[in-house]
């Protein structure tokens, strides 16, 4: 069994994420390849596509949202994602147990003690009446019906337990951060067709196999724990065991078993990886349990300091080398260690390109000393 180095895994990830070279594929094709695009704060998804697609512009994604070809809703790991409409229709039912698990956490159950979950969902859908409400209005109406309970938490539980899609304006390019006005619509109404169902255990397992194939195409080679960390599902080892005949096996640098699609090509580990600026919550950083192929454990603490934060980063030679931020028109670069002169020049070039995309004015370093060429 072939053993893959950390560098080989890095180059495979960079290649499959369109980070070794920008692609000419359409935004819809790229979102489909990534399965779903992390989108907790709407603007970051646009930056994620900019980093992967030649000449990408904001109106391209906004049009997909307005045409309902792409939807924004809770999906992987119970977090907000953009997904192709048909992928969402098929994947949300498979991932529903993950969202139900989140809805059963103390944050929600403390507020809904004594309420039946199915009845709460039915009540929420009844208030929506096959149409659209703002989150605030749904919360207000639920609070009216349940005095003494937090309507916002009740509305959040409804959104987790049944697929509600956010209006196109919620996911459109605009102000940074979370939007104060979020509208929700039952997914079947928004999509104009019913959600897919897995009528039998065999059908559910087949759906899980397809999800694993899609994951490997975008993040492989990887281990079972990596797949589970990415999607939130558990006990996928049993499913992978049934797929052994169609998968290629590798050994990781730490001796772990890794799997990949049998026909997936691995780039030469010596392939040059260009400097890239990634958005907050980027898929490339969140696709594995073991993220050392793209970020060291030491740097991970700086990028993911807790409280669900994943800061924007920049890659040098395929790995996280620092963070960046926007503040009143300035794009600030914060290297974690000194940059070589050639890497600094490449970083500044890429930052200038991003500056044009986000409408900033100047690129600067938050720590000029650390930014000095080594």
Predicted confidence (pLDDT) per residue in 281-313, tens digit: 999 999 999 999 999 999 999 999 988 899 999
Predicted confidence (pLDDT) per residue in 23-71, tens digit: 999 999 999 999 999 998 999 999 999 999 999 999 999 999 999 999 9
Asked if residue 328 has pLDDT above 70, the reply is yes
What pLDDT is stored for residue 194 in this prediction?
A: 93
Contact present, 207 and 94 (Cβ < 8 Å)? yes
What pLDDT is stored for residue 352 in this prediction?
A: 97
Which of 301, 295, 298 lies closest to 317 in space, CA to CA? 295
Cα distance between residue 314 and residue 19, in whole Å: 11
Predicted confidence (pLDDT) per residue in 251-260, tens digit: 999 999 999 9
β-pair type (319-327, 330-335): antiparallel
Contact present, 313 and 303 (Cβ < 8 Å)? yes
What pLDDT is stored for residue 181 in this prediction?
A: 87
Cα distance between residue 158 and residue 102, in whole Å: 11
Predicted confidence (pLDDT) per residue in 148-196, tens digit: 999 999 999 999 999 999 999 999 999 888 888 899 999 999 999 999 9
Percentage of the chain modeled with pLDDT above 90: 91
Asked if residue 198 has pLDDT above 80, the reply is no
**Token pair of 35 as six digits:** 């399965």
pTM of the model: 0.94
Asked if residue 374 has pLDDT above 60, the reply is no
What pLDDT is stored for residue 20 in this prediction?
A: 97
Asked if residue 316 has pLDDT above 70, the reply is yes
Its sign, for the CA torsion 257, 260, 262, 266, is: negative
Mean predicted confidence (pLDDT) in 359-363? 92
Contact present, 81 and 73 (Cβ < 8 Å)? yes
CB-based contacts of 254, cutoff 8 Å, min separation 6? 290
What pLDDT is stored for residue 369 in this prediction?
A: 57
Mean predicted confidence (pLDDT) in 212-223? 98
Asked if residue 371 has pLDDT above 90, the reply is no
Interaxial angle between packed helices 58-66 and 42-50, expressed in degrees from 0 to 180 and rounded to the nearest 10:
130
Mean predicted confidence (pLDDT) in 129-144? 96
What pLDDT is stored for residue 1 in this prediction?
A: 83
Q: For the chain, give the longest Cα–Cα distance.
A: 64
What pLDDT is stored for residue 4 in this prediction?
A: 98
Cα distance between residue 263 and residue 159, in whole Å: 39
Mean predicted confidence (pLDDT) in 74-81? 96
What pLDDT is stored for residue 339 in this prediction?
A: 95
Where does the pLDDT of residue 275 fall: very low under 50, low under 70, confident under 90, or very high at 90 and above?
very high
Cα distance between residue 191 and residue 27, in whole Å: 19
| Rg for the chain, CA atoms, rounded | 21
Average pLDDT along the chain: 95
What pLDDT is stored for residue 373 in this prediction?
A: 61
Where is average pLDDT lowest: 164-168, 179-183, 321-325, 336-340?
179-183
What pLDDT is stored for residue 252 in this prediction?
A: 96
Burial of residue 254, with CB atoms counted within 10 A of its CB: 0-12 exposed, 13-18 middle, 19 or more buried: exposed
């Amino acid at each position: 069994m072939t053993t893959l180095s950390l560098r080989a895994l890095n180059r495979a990830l960079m290649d499959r994420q369109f980070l070794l070279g920008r692609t000419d594929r359409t935004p819809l094709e790229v979102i489909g390849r990534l399965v779903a695009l992390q989108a907790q704060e709407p603007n970051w998804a646009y930056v994620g596509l900019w980093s992967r697609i030649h000449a990408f512009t904001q109106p391209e994604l906004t049009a997909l949202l307005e045409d309902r070809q792409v939807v924004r809703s809770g999906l992987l790991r119970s977090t907000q994602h953009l997904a192709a409409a048909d992928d969402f229709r098929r994947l949300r039912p498979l991932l529903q147990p993950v969202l139900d698990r989140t809805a059963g956490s103390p944050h929600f159950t403390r507020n809904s003690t004594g309420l039946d979950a199915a009845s709460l969902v039915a009540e929420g859908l009844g208030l929506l009446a096959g149409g659209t409400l703002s989150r605030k209005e749904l919360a207000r109406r639920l609070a009216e019906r349940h005095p003494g309970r937090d309507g916002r938490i009740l509305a959040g539980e409804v959104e987790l337990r049944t697929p509600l899609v956010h209006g196109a304006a919620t996911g459109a390019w605009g102000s940074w951060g979370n939007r104060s006005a979020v509208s929700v619509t039952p997914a079947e109404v928004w999509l104009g067709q019913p959600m897919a169902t897995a009528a039998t255990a065999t059908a559910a397992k087949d759906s899980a196999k397809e999800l694993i194939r899609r994951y490997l195409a975008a993040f492989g080679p990887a281990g079972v724990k990596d797949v589970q960390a990415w999607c939130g599902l558990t006990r996928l080892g049993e499913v992978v065991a049934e797929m052994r005949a169609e998968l290629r096996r590798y050994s990781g640098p730490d001796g772990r078993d890794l799997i990949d699609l049998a026909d997936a090509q691995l780039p030469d580990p010596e392939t040059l990886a260009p400097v890239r600026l990634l958005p907050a919550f980027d898929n490339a950083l969140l696709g594995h349990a073991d993220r050392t192929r793209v970020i060291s454990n030491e740097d991970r603490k700086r990028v993911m300091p807790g409280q669900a934060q994943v800061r924007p980063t920049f890659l040098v030679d395929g790995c996280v080398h620092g963070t960046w931020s926007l503040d009143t028109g300035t794009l600030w670069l914060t290297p974690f260690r000194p940059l070589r002169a050639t890497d600094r020049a490449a970083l500044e070039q890429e930052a200038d390109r991003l500056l044009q995309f986000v409408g900033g004015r100047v690129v600067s370093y938050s720590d000029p000393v650390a930014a000095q060429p080594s």
